[in-house]
């Protein structure tokens, strides 16, 4: 028996007239310093280009066919979908963003390339060297930074002056510090939350968006993961998380963990942090990833990850309303955007990506049929690289 499903979404495509001839530049010339001849006709954006996703189920096999066509009807060049080779930063530094906080930043890739900023998850997760591999290092100037209290930023695991709005201000301070007029923004999980919030606050500074594992920080999303919903799928991982909390406090695990993660006893903090972090790490991949799960045993990582996450969730992301990000999505619907979502994401279930897709139909919506939450799962990584390649091709 054969069942057919077809999803079609419109995407705006940048096209230039065939009579337009642009000069070429060596990679040493910065993108923002290049001078182009006047254009007699303005480039046009067309909604005629369609991204068609067809999924056919034959027996137990699933076949996904993606078709990107230009306005002329010709097939575009096939996009690279492989992670780039590991690279090292060409510059690093620390930026004092408040009387309390100093954030770590780094740059890699092409110093004169097109700027892209990577927003890590958590909040509190910090960056890692593998984050650089989603971007073509010959084209992109890749900026990573650790958000307040996370990674190499100081003070470690600090909750003081640590809100979504503080982080948005930090992104702007970093952009200005690095003398970047505008940039592409890339974020997954909490990074998608922050990327949307930043873009809605500063739409004129964002040239493109790549979002993965959508998290809108609504009550139903928090309740799903931290109040027992996801336990239906991962009861074995849930019980250690649950059992740290006495039965008389289990009406709100977020509140009970908040109490322990802010205890005066550091050992109580560490115990709660390990349980909190292992719960998330055990559910982040469709197939168990032992290396990822072991991060829950790292007290340094776990403390920042758990304390900062919990702090943001107790405070509902510091947003004025539950649907704040969706309510303001019209501010960014002109930005070229790709949404990548694992079909079996337990941490950030597809309902949020679907809601964003409906509110933002112009964005390319890529559902990876054999993936969970992590950006490092093969299907998700491939779509993220391809999304950056597509934006790259629009800028060449």
DSSP 104-134: EEEEEE-TTSEEEEEE-STTTT---GGGGGG
Residue 395 token pair? 């800028």
The residue to which tokens 């758990």 are assigned:
306
CB 291 within 8 A of CB 321: no
pLDDT tens track for 25-34: 454 455 444 4
Question: What pLDDT shows up at residue 89?
Answer: 98
Q: Which residue positions in the chain have pLDDT lower than 50?
A: 1-25, 27-28, 31-75
- The predicted pLDDT at position 41 comes to 35
Tokens matching residue 2: 């054969």
Question: Which phi-psi region, left, alpha or beta, contains residue 162 (left: φ > 0; alpha: ψ -120 to 50)?
Answer: beta
Pairing relation of β-strands 337-342 and 206-212?
A: parallel
- pLDDT tens, residue by residue, 325-368: 999 999 999 999 999 999 999 999 999 999 999 999 999 999 99
The two structure tokens encoding residue 311: 């702090």
Grouping H, G, I as helix, E, B as strand and the rest as coil, residue 67 is strand
- Cβ-contact 148, 162 below 8 angstroms: yes
Instruction: In whole angstroms, give the CA distance from residue 106 to residue 234.
Output: 37
Q: Please, which residues have CB within 8 angstroms of residue 60's CB and are 6 or more apart in sequence?
A: none
- DSSP H or E segment with residue 337: strand 337-342
Residues 56-87 have pLDDT tens digits of 222 223 233 333 433 334 345 689 999 999 99
- Residue 396: per-residue pLDDT: 81
Q: Which residues are catalytic?
A: 189, 345, 373
Q: Which two tokens stand for residue 294?
A: 């072991």
């Amino acid at each position: 028996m054969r069942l057919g499903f077809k999803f079609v979404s419109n995407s705006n495509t940048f096209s230039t007239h065939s009579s337009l001839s642009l000069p070429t530049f060596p990679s040493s010339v910065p993108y923002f310093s290049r001078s182009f001849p006047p254009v007699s006709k303005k480039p046009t954006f067309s909604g005629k280009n369609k991204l068609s996703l067809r999924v056919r189920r034959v027996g137990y096999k699933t076949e996904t066919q993606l078709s990107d066509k230009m306005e002329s009807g010709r097939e575009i060049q096939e996009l690279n979908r492989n992670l780039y080779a590991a690279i090292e930063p060409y510059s690093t530094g620390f930026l004092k963003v408040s009387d309390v906080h100093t954030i770590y930043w780094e740059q890699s890739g092409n110093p004169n390339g097109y700027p892209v900023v990577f927003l890590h998850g958590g909040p509190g997760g910090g960056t890692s060297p593998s984050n650089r591999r989603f971007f073509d290092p010959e084209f992109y100037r890749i900026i990573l930074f650790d958000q307040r209290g996370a990674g190499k930023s100081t003070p470690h695991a600090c909750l003081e002056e640590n809100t979504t709005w503080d982080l948005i201000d930090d992104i702007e301070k970093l952009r200005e510090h690095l003398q970047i007029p505008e940039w592409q923004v890339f974020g997954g999980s909490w990074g998608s939350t922050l990327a949307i919030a930043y873009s809605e606050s500063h739409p004129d500074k964002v040239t493109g968006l790549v979002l993965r594992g959508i998290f809108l920080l609504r009550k139903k999303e928090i309740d799903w993961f931290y109040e027992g919903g996801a336990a239906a799928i991962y009861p074995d991982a849930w019980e250690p998380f649950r059992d740290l909390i006495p039965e008389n406090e289990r009406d709100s695990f977020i509140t009970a963990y908040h109490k322990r993660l802010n205890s005066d006893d550091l050992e109580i903090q560490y115990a709660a942090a390990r349980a909190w972090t292992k719960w998330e790490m055990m559910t982040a991949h469709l197939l168990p990833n032992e290396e990822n799960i072991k991060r829950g045993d790292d007290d340094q990582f776990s403390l920042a990850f758990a304390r900062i996450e919990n702090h943001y969730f107790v405070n509902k992301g510091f947003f004025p309303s539950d649907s704040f990000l969706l309510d303001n999505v019209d501010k960014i619907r002109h930005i070229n955007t790709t949404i990548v979502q694992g079909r079996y994401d337990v941490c950030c279930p597809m309902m949020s990506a679907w809601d964003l897709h409906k509110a933002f139909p112009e964005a390319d919506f890529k559902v990876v049929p054999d993936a969970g939450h992590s950006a490092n799962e093969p299907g998700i990584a491939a779509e993220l690289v391809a999304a950056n390649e597509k934006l790259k091709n629009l800028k060449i």
